[in-house]
């Protein structure tokens, strides 16, 4: 499923990545993605989009930081026996 927090309206995209991990047979896979905005300004995260490209039962949750912070930690968990394939966008 997709996860969207905050807003991307009139906000610059500061980070984009494809998080792809292979499937584990008969098991759920859990992976983490960390991002910190460089300290060049006073920017904070305004929006986060984690788009599930597999359209499976995968989930993406914010475990640290997020909206209003300069860092975020995203926990991605696959459906049993499926891969993780997310496009992650962060706006400041």
pLDDT at 40 over 80: no
Burial 5-37 (b: 16+ CB within 10 A, else e): ebeeeeeeebbeeebeeebeeeebbeeebebeb
- Number of domains composing the chain: 1
Q: How far apart are CA 84 and CA 29, in angstroms?
A: 8
Tell me the residue range of the domain where 7 lies. 2-91
Answer whether 90's CB lies under 8 Å from 45's CB: yes
Identify the pLDDT of residue 29: 95
- pLDDT for 47: 96
């Amino acid at each position: 499923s997709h996860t969207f927090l905050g807003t991307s309206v009139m906000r610059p995209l500061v980070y984009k990545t494809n998080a792809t991990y292979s499937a584990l047979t008969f098991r759920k896979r859990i992976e983490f993605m960390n991002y910190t905005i460089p300290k060049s300004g006073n920017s904070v995260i305004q929006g986060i989009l984690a788009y599930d490209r597999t359209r499976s039962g995968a989930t993406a949750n914010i475990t640290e930081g997020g909206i209003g912070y300069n860092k975020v930690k995203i926990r991605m968990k696959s459906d049993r026996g499926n891969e993780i394939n997310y496009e992650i966008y962060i706006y400041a």
